[in-house]
Structure formats: structure tokens, C-alpha cells
Structure 1
Amino acid sequence: MKYLVRDKILAIGDDFWIEDERGRRAFLVDGKALRLRDTLELKDPAGRVLITLRQMMFGLRDAMTVERDGRPLAVVRRKRLSLLRNHFRVGLADGATELDVSGKILDREFAVEYDGELLADISRRWLTVRDTYTVDVVREDADAALLIAVAACVIRMAEREREG
């Protein structure tokens, strides 16, 4: 399933819809203003919070947490000692599972993989709509909300690194 995502997903204070490939509203992005750190909620069409993204306040490296139901689901960090600048690791809360994110993050051309298997392909390659990209969730059993959240986190972290 493909999802159409606005390029500035982590614009704090902005609310907008992520649509599926048929143009139906799939997720509401709720940017929380007046917070100490970047916070964003991904909600279903009924308004239930599915995922919360937060910038981690302390740590040696930039990181963002992904939470579900108030509990940590994953932590997104730039991969240490990577020859590729655009390589991130997503450590899931179970402690045993890691997702790899690599590609041209700032160009919105990258992939999310688990153990060498493609889970999602992020691209703006075929779009004519400005400031949007697609998150193509390849596996039907994959958690679309989590993969959209991971894409948003790595883009935000790469942009902060470029600005800073």
C-alpha cells in the first residue's frame, strides 16, 4: 500500500492528512506546538493516537523515540561508524529487532529493511505534487504507521544535521 506524505511532516503546530493510494484519509498528523522537544502524533481517521514521535532530550547522538500507547516502540539513531552518511538504525523495543534505513534521505529516496528484506520504499521519484513523497509499504503484514513514523524521524534528523 502506498501513502502520500507531505514533505514537512514534522512541522510543529501543523495538522494534515496522509492519504492512501486511492486518495482516502489514512492517518492524521498532529504536530504538537509549545512543547520542549519535537513531538508529533500519528492518529487514525477516528482520532485515536497510534504513534507518538519525540525528539530525545539527552544523549551523545541525535535520536528520536517512537511510542505506542505511552510505551517505547522504537528508537531511531544514525548508524555509528557507517561509511554511508545516510544510514540509520531503528532499534525496536524488544531489543532483538533492528531495522536498517539507507539511501538518499534528504532527496527522499531511501528504503527501510529488516534482515535484508525490503519493508518500505520511500520516494518522490514519480510524483508531480510538490513537497510530497510516497511511503510504499511493500509487505502486507508490516506496520504502516511505524514505517511512516520511521521515515519521518530519519528525514527530520537528517535535516537537523544539515542545518546544524
Structure 2
Amino acid sequence: MKLLVRERVFDIGDDFWVTDEVGQRVFWVDGKAMRLRTTFQLKDPRGNELLAIRKKLVSVRDAMRIERGGETVATVRKRMFNPVRDKLVVDLDQGEDWEVTGDFLGKEYVISDAGGTVAHISRKWFRLRDTYAVDVNTHRSDAGGDPALVISVAVCVEALTEDDGD
């Protein structure tokens, strides 16, 4: 399932739609402005919250939690002692952990585990700087086949790595 993420660069609160290949709205990413910590909500097109994404306030290394119904389903964190910062780890509450590798700033990276590719994120087919594709392997029967969780991980990758290029 290929999803298109179109971030609004100058929008207060980092709100944006995620659509399918034909332009149908699939998810709304609602960035909560004016919060002490970075917070997003992933919602369906009717506005129902599917997942909450929160940056951990106190952590040895930068990390974000993804919650469903108040329960943590995944934690995305930067790898410790990695000077290049080209790798992130997704600790899943249930199932095998994922690894995120590639060019985060250029939005060319892969989410994978021992079972193979979970998703491929790529900007290469788009001229607009704020648009990229998330190709989710929905043939998987585990958490890797959950488009909402994969989009939430991509939101975490963006939030955790956006300052690395400065």
C-alpha cells in the first residue's frame, strides 16, 4: 500500500494529510502546537484518534512513544553512540523490533526487521520538497502490515532527525 505524505511546511502545529495513490484521504496527522513536548495524533478521516505520538521528556537518548488507547505499542529511538546517526530502532511492545536505516534528511530510508522490509520511504518521485511516499508491506500479518503504525514511525523519524542537519 503506497501512501503519500504531504507536509505543510509553514503550518503551525505540523498538521498534514496522508493520502493513498489516488488522492483519497487515509490519515490526518495532527501536530499539537504549544505543548511542552512534541506531540502528534494520527487520526482517521472522520477525526477519530488511532494513535498518539509523544516525545519522551526525560531520556538518555532522543525517543518517541507511539500509543494506542493509552498503551505504548512502540518506542522509536536514536541508537546510542552512533556518530553518523543513520540508524534508528523501533522497540515494539509485541513482536520483533524494527530497524530504520538510510538517509533521513533526504527521506530515502527503509524500515525492516529479520522478516524483511516493513516499508520503504522515498521522496525521489516527487518534485515538491515536502512530499514523500511510504510504501507499506501490507502483505505482512504482523505489526509491519499496519499502515497506521508505519506512518506513525515515519512521523517519529521526521521529528527525531529534523534537527540533525543543522
Q: TM-score, normalising length from structure 2?
A: 0.88
The answer on whether the counterparts of 1:12 and 1:40 sit within 8 Å (CA) in structure 2 is no
Cα distance in 2 for residues equivalent to 1:153 and 1:134: 15
2:102 match: 103
SS of the equivalent of 1:149 reads: helix
Aligned partner (choices 126, 144, 154) of residue 151 of structure 1: 154
SS of the equivalent of 2:22 reads: coil
The answer on whether the counterparts of 2:7 and 2:17 sit within 8 Å (CA) in structure 1 is no
In the alignment, does 2:120 pair up with 1:121?
yes
Q: CA deviation at 1:70?
A: 1.2
In the alignment, does 2:139 pair up with 1:140?
yes
Cα distance in 1 for residues equivalent to 2:102 and 2:14: 27
Q: Percent identity?
A: 44
Cα distance in 1 for residues equivalent to 2:17 and 2:45: 9
Q: CA deviation at 1:8?
A: 5.7
Residues 6-43 of structure 1 show CA distances to partners (whole Å, capped at 9, x for unaligned) of: 2468x652433111111100001111122110110010
**Alignment CA distance shift 1:82-1:22 (3 Å):** same
Q: TM-score, normalising length from structure 1?
A: 0.89
In the alignment, does 2:54 pair up with 1:51?
no
The answer on whether the counterparts of 1:12 and 1:38 sit within 8 Å (CA) in structure 2 is no
